[in-house]
Amino acid sequence: METKPYGLYKKNGIYYVRFRNEDGKRQSLSTRQRKKTLAERVALQMYTEHMLSTKGNITFLEYSKNWWIYDSCKYVEYRNRKNRILSQTYVDVNRIYLQKHILPYFGKMKLKKIKREKIEEWHNELIERENLSPTTANHCLLTLKIMLEFAVNKGLLPKSPAKDILNFREEPKAKGIITIDEFKKLFDESKIESIWGGDLFYYTINLLTANTGLRMGEVRALQVKDVDLNNKIIDIKHSYRRKYGLAEPKWSSYRKIPITDKVVKYLKIIIDNMDYQSEDDFIFYGKDHSKPIDEKAISKHLYRALENIGISREDRVNRNITFHSWRHFYNSYLYEHLPLTIVQGLTGHKSKKMTLHYYHEGQKDYSQVYQILEVLNE
């Protein structure tokens, strides 16, 4: 038989509910009911509301203890247990939002005293006083929403005061895309010396990425064992992150990607000349084979090559061309001429919306992935 956390007793014909609060002290409250069935119903409601009020009396600082610390946060534990694994990077970024932008405003407030108008005021101040971008301010709001909603789930609040607060309108700068002519100039084999300084290492990194749409972390994570030159396939199993080393690809987007003959040719040159000790060695390594090349070095060599084909630093910045532009370039060619499911399988996108985000119009028509890229690389 289930034991109730409260009891009923009758005094002068009226039922009272009695329970111990969080401090262990007895609490007695009148239900104002003379019938036991009605008193039972009111007693449960009164007990629940009282305990919510008592629990919500802690400060937000107390509530936020251990939040967004990977091995200590109850929310992270809950999400991971529900098979919605949160990455270490995602958790760490939310910890930064909490410490830098949320706690300074809400830390001393009682959890139950945080109201919608206070959150709206804080959200506005993130832009007006802290000069955050709308995107970053919205990320901070989402972090707070998650925390308050979890407080509801844990019985600390009756409802979240942040639930229906709208995001700021975001207008991110569109990522630039390399043109076909620029692509051909960059990867003209007869001009590797003049454009890339004769450096096959960075030439191959960019050639591979332009032909596969890999993310920076996925390129850096490539190991010898991930490349099947005979079957012209690379296997995306990892992403490399500065703080954590090898991790799973973004959104767990494990996939196999076909590569062209030209990519095979230069990958073979790099691998044959790297004198690797193990198939676990990184193909594009830094000071030694155990660590990948620094991402800043990759971007630096790309930007220098762009200047050598006539794209000045000013033009590059105005067009917003970065290493990540290769992913847009690759996606654009595939999306216009192949079924969406194939494009998503190759890029690792989980939604049509994200695939469209990486799509740029005006690409030439080819019927198959190999055919599209082989012709492009002629």
Tell me the per-residue pLDDT of 251-264, one tens digit each, with 9 for 90 and over. Answer: 788 888 889 999 99
Task: Of 271, 260, 294, 257, give the one whose Cα is nearest residue 225.
Answer: 271
Flag residues of the chain having pLDDT under 70. 1-3, 21-24, 48-56, 83, 333, 336-372, 375
Domain membership flag for residue 159: no
241 phi and psi angles, rounded to 5 deg: -120, 140
Per the structure block, which two tokens stand in for 226?
A: 């991930």
**So what's the pLDDT on residue 27?**
78
Burial zone of 374 (CB within 10 Å; 0-12 exposed, 13-18 middle, 19+ buried): middle
**So what's the pLDDT on residue 372?**
65
Tell me, yes or no, whether 92 and 228 share the same domain: no
Tell me, yes or no, whether 291 and 246 share the same domain: yes
Tell me, yes or no, whether 48 and 83 share the same domain: no
**So what's the pLDDT on residue 316?**
94
Give the pLDDT confidence of 51-101 residue by residue, as tens digits.
Answer: 555 555 788 998 999 999 999 999 999 999 986 788 888 999 999 999 999
**So what's the pLDDT on residue 367?**
39
Tell me, yes or no, whether 23 and 98 share the same domain: no
Domain membership flag for residue 164: no
Tell me, yes or no, whether 109 and 191 share the same domain: no
Tally of domains in the chain: 3
Domain membership flag for residue 162: no
Bridge partner list, 228:
233
Tell me, yes or no, whether 88 and 122 share the same domain: yes
Tell me, yes or no, whether 257 and 131 share the same domain: no
Q: What angle do CA 223, 229, 230 make, to 5 degrees?
A: 140
Tell me, yes or no, whether 116 and 237 share the same domain: no
Bridge partner list, 240:
246
What is the dihedral sign for C-alpha 200, 228, 322, 292? negative
Task: Of 139, 115, 136, give the one whose Cα is nearest residue 127.
Answer: 136
Domain membership flag for residue 37: yes
**So what's the pLDDT on residue 50?**
65
**So what's the pLDDT on residue 281?**
93
Tell me, yes or no, whether 192 and 326 share the same domain: yes
Q: Which of 113, 138, 153 is where one domain is finished?
A: 153
Residues in the chain: 378
Tell me, yes or no, whether 307 and 239 share the same domain: yes
**So what's the pLDDT on residue 23?**
61
**So what's the pLDDT on residue 264?**
96
Domain membership flag for residue 226: yes
Distance in angstroms (rounded) separating the CA atoms of residues 280 and 224: 6
**So what's the pLDDT on residue 371?**
65
- CATH code of the domain in which 329 resides: 1.10.443.10
Range of the domain at 288: 180-376
Distance in angstroms (rounded) separating the CA atoms of residues 295 and 241: 10
Domain membership flag for residue 86: yes
Distance in angstroms (rounded) separating the CA atoms of residues 193 and 336: 34
Per the structure block, which two tokens stand in for 303?
A: 């930007």
Distance in angstroms (rounded) separating the CA atoms of residues 377 and 329: 13
Per the structure block, which two tokens stand in for 256?
A: 């196999």
Task: Of 243, 251, 236, give the one whose Cα is nearest residue 88.
Answer: 243
Tell me, yes or no, whether 345 and 202 share the same domain: yes
Tell me, yes or no, whether 232 and 141 share the same domain: no
Domain membership flag for residue 63: no
Distances (CA, A) of 71 to 93, 163, 305: 15, 27, 44
310 phi and psi angles, rounded to 5 deg: 100, 10
Bridge partner list, 14:
11
Domain membership flag for residue 235: yes
Distance in angstroms (rounded) separating the CA atoms of residues 59 and 55: 10
